[in-house]
Amino acid sequence: MDHNTTGDGIITALQLLAVMKESGQSLEKLAGQMECLPQLLENVRVADKNMVMNSPSLVRAIEKEEKKLGGSGRILVRPSGTEPLVRVMAEGRNIDELKEIVGRLTNIIQEIK
């Protein structure tokens, strides 16, 4: 994830091929080692993506929610590159917890806008 933290399919494919070559393992074998986790994504319409993303209250809230997950999942809050949206994604083992996290972050974004 040092080179690619969001959806660039070509970079992801090249990195996967590099891992396959380096490890000598097939895609099937590597995929068997992966744990699939529930993921929740909400899009929040905003007037100013940059203002929202630079909001200290949002930054603090994201940090707080990441601590609650404690390494058992991930949170990604990012501006859309093409629309007036902020995307809130959470991934983890417990879908109910993810709904709460995404709901809290979405509420904060709506208060900022």
pLDDT digit string, tens, across residues 4-57: 555 678 888 999 999 999 999 999 999 999 888 999 999 999 999 999 999 999
- Residue 1 predicted with pLDDT over 70: no
Please state the rounded mean pLDDT for residues 75-89.
96
Q: Which CATH class is domain 37-112?
A: alpha beta
Write down the domain spans for the chain: 1-34, 37-112
* pTM confidence score: 0.77
Determine the pLDDT at residue 71: 86
Separation of CA 28 from chain center: 25
- Residue 79 predicted with pLDDT over 90: yes
Percentage helix, strand, coil, to 5, in the chain?
A: 50, 20, 30
- Residue 84 predicted with pLDDT over 90: yes
| Long-range contacts, stretch 62-67, CB < 8 angstroms, 24+ apart | 62/105, 65/90, 65/101, 65/104, 65/105
